[in-house]
Amino acid sequence: MDVILAQISSTSRSDDFSFVIDENMLTVSLRKDSQVRVHKIFVIEKRLIKKVISQLKKPAKKELLTKVKELFDN
């Protein structure tokens, strides 16, 4: 089975392709302030994932999906 992933970076950007994620948006806090890079989405086989560090909670997933949709609508 494949899963869809989005890049997370601690490099701050101020563009339409990023949004800041804070600890309330995640199942487990990250060490650094980070942003999701909406235009850096990819697919990988689930069996290749060795460790899950954290996941976006449902409201943050909705924000990500909204931004991805906006990216394709433009």
Helix (H, G, I), strand (E, B) or coil at 33: coil
DSSP 8-state secondary structure symbol assigned to residue 11:
S
Question: What does the pLDDT read at residue 46?
Answer: 95
DSSP 8-state secondary structure symbol assigned to residue 16:
T
Residues 14-65: tens digit of each pLDDT = 888 888 888 899 999 999 989 999 889 999 999 999 999 999 999 988 988 8
Answer yes or no: is pLDDT of 73 > 90: no
| pTM recorded for the entire structure | 0.73
Which residues constitute the domain of residue 36? 2-73
Overall domain count for the chain: 1
